[in-house]
A and B are shown apart, each in its own frame.
Chain A
Amino acid sequence: MSFPLVDAALNWQSPASVQPTRGLSSPSPTHRRQPDAAAVKRQAAGASSERTVIVVSDQVGAEGGFVLNHFIHRHLRLEEQGWIVVLVGLAQTWEHYLAVGKKLGLNIALSQQKGRLVFLDALTHLATGTGPFAHNEGATSATTAASPLQGLLASITAAYQACSSSPAQKKLCLVVDDVSALQSCGLPTKDVLAFAAGCRELVYEENGCLVLLAHGDSVAAGVDDDDGSGVICRSLIHSATHVLHVAALESGLTQGVDGQITFARGPLLRDEEGFNPEVLHYQITDAQINFFKKGFSKGLL
């Protein structure tokens, strides 16, 4: 499942306009009405997700992991464009993504069998330094010689290159869930930022799309943090093209609305992309996720 309204907010061409939809969630009536004439018009001339860096910042009480599913599913559905998704799980295990994918109407296990999705279980292997972290070949820089993240980045590159697609068509969608977990596991900030820089370089080389989730409580509050966790999120945002802030509803709890996503302009976004910043509301139910324009929630109407 992907969300047309999210694609419209990002001014991207929706996969639905490229190929017929199957297993798309049946959102609320407001959602079905939402891709209005203006949104459709923008989508028709919309940009692609190539060479984009998206940072999703979330908060305690408003987790942003569900947004990652949109980017995973969106790029898996663009099969004919050669997108290959590499999902680095630092916050959740494979079973989690499998279960969520099934609920949202997409069998990611099938995509994995086809070689269009690679899952790197970094969460399980981070403590032991095995699995994707054991891939320690390649050159090392002086400042980060001993970082286990170098092995993780090498594993990402190797997994992408091993995927079955003609090299001319391959594009990489790299999703990291989530970057803040690396710092929570004790890795120094400079190594985490160097890892993110390596991911960005890889994505730009492959004309791909990088999606990074990071906890940004202090970013949203506009305050300095004591533990330095906000530095990572802020530094990532400074190198992004799009920034998605997931937060609780600023007006408080409301029936039918779980929170809001702010689609903000990143510093590296070019003016000609035609992106208009906006805020969407969302509701997470057992079987689907609904997005609304502000004030269009079923609970409000």
Chain B
Amino acid sequence: MAPANAQLSSQLVLARLLAGKEQSSFIVVEDSLRQSALPLVQKLAAQSTPRRGPPDTRRNDLVVCCVENPPRVVRELFPYDGAVFVDVFSSYSLAPPRTQPGLPTATAATIGEYLSSLASKDVKTTVVFDSINPFVTHHSIGAFARLLKRLAGLSDSISLILPFHGDCVPRSVHTLLGDIAVTVLTVRHAKDFGVALGSSLATDNGDAFRLVDANATGGAVVEVMHKRKSGKITREVAVYTTDGDKWRLNTLEQVRGSEDLVEEKKSIADEPDPTANLSFNLKLTDEQRAARSEVVLPYLYMQQADGAGTVQQHQMQQPTVSSAEAAIYYDDDDYDEEDPDADLDI
């Protein structure tokens, strides 16, 4: 990546959030059936993982609230040492509750109180939910709004990351979350923006999104809306691409530009050579090419304009100018000025 592009990428709000250089106390992450936000949420949570060392030197704590998926599954999704898991899932499942040692449980009514008890002035605590959709499904919009208000009013040392599935909730929930959040990250499939990332380049599914393209692993587009403390609102469209554990962030323009370059290189490289598989030889060696250039072609009229604008005709002479400089002079003897269209008569 060019240095200018690298500098531009590092200035992205998303890049600063993932690097821990920008703080946001309330991040809402929206996804859909087309593209899951799970990799992005995992990356955000990884940035907040507890630093190893004695408790008094730790700067971050990570609390993962299991709401949509069983704690057993969420533990695998967020395999970070020192993370605290809270079971909210049991209150939204018909299965009889299973008490697991060391796994605190909470409900929508008690989660705020529980999280505030974890808050500490010295340690920055990041609270990640696997999804907040069950809150919307099982409670009224009013109760959900009160829950959000309670979460937003927690201690300043607590940062919240709340993912939700935008295609499963009413429009009012989008508005509510957009109003209360400091940062809204909307994860979209790359094909929605006409770009192909990672492994999707290799597929032959065309440019339009199809169901088979869902949840691409190569990367996604993230629409970012970030409210700064000064009141300024920053909007940007970032693209993340993943290759294993390596993450790369770019702007959409950068990706589109590099994609054009890739396409251009590809078209030149992939252009078939018609002389490749012939049973006879159509190519010339350098010696043959030099010999050919020395051949004097008979009856070649080369017209060369001199400084005065007159035309001199040289016969039996080897061409000395390129074809780009040559011109064709046509003298029509049959041209009749009184009837210019005479040649059209049948």
Contacts and interface: CB of A to CB of B under 8 A. Distances in A.
Given A141-B91, A265-B215, A193 B137 contact: yes
Given A142-B91, A204-B72, A234-B165, A193 B96 contact: no
Contacts of A154: 96
A268 B69 contact: yes
Contact of B97 (A139, A193, A243, A270): A139
Residue of A267, A269, A270 with most chain B CB atoms under a 10 A cut-off = A267
A65 interface: no
B34 to A, nearest CB: 9
Contacts of B36: 238, 267
Contacts of A190: 137-138
Contacts of B94: 141, 144, 147, 149-150, 153, 191, 194-195, 197-198
B215 A204 contact: no
B95 interface: yes
B95 A202 contact: yes
B73 A204 contact: yes
Residue of A154, A191, A268 with most chain B CB atoms under a 10 A cut-off = A268
Contacts of B97: 139, 141
Contacts of A279: 212
A202 B69 CA distance: 12
B210 interface: yes
A197 B212 contact: no
Given A204-B72, A239-B68, A194 B168 contact: no
B60 to A, nearest CB: 25
Nearest to A224: B167
A2 to B, nearest CB: 22
A192 B137 CA distance: 11
B75 to A, nearest CB: 11
Interface in A172-216: 189-191, 193-195, 197-198, 200-202, 204-205
B215 A278 contact: no
A56 to B, nearest CB: 13
Nearest to B34: A222
A194 B215 contact: no
A268 B68 CA distance: 12
B69 A239 contact: yes
A264 interface: yes
Interface string A82-113: 00000000000000000000000000000000
Residue of B94, B138, B165 with most chain A CB atoms under a 10 A cut-off = B94
Contacts of A265: 214-217
A20 to B, nearest CB: 33
Given A143-B138, A194-B94, A267-B38, A238 B215 contact: no
Contact of A193 (B70, B90, B134, B213): B134
A31 interface: no
Interface size class of A (residues with CB under 8 A): 35 or more
Contact of A194 (B72, B76, B93): B93
Given A190-B138, A267-B38, A268-B69, A262 B165 contact: no
Contacts of B118: none
A237 B91 contact: no
A194 B92 CA distance: 6
A234 B168 contact: yes
A266 interface: yes
A151 to B, nearest CB: 9
Interface in A211-234: 219-220, 224, 231, 234
A278 B212 contact: yes
Contacts of B210: 262
B91 A143 contact: yes
A105 to B, nearest CB: 30
A263 interface: yes
Contact of B211 (A138, A264, A271): A264
Contacts of B167: 224, 234
B26 interface: no
A10 to B, nearest CB: 14
Given A194-B93, A234-B33, 20 more contacts: A139-B97, A141-B97, A143-B138, A153-B95, A157-B95, A189-B137, A194-B92, A197-B92, A197-B93, A197-B95, A198-B95, A200-B69, A201-B89, A201-B93, A204-B70, A238-B133, A238-B168, A243-B214, A264-B214, A271-B217
A-B pairs, 9 with minimum CB distance: A267-B36, A198-B95, A198-B94, A197-B93, A265-B215, A138-B96, A201-B70, A201-B95, A277-B212
6 contacts: A153-B94, A194-B92, A194-B138, A197-B95, A204-B73, A279-B212
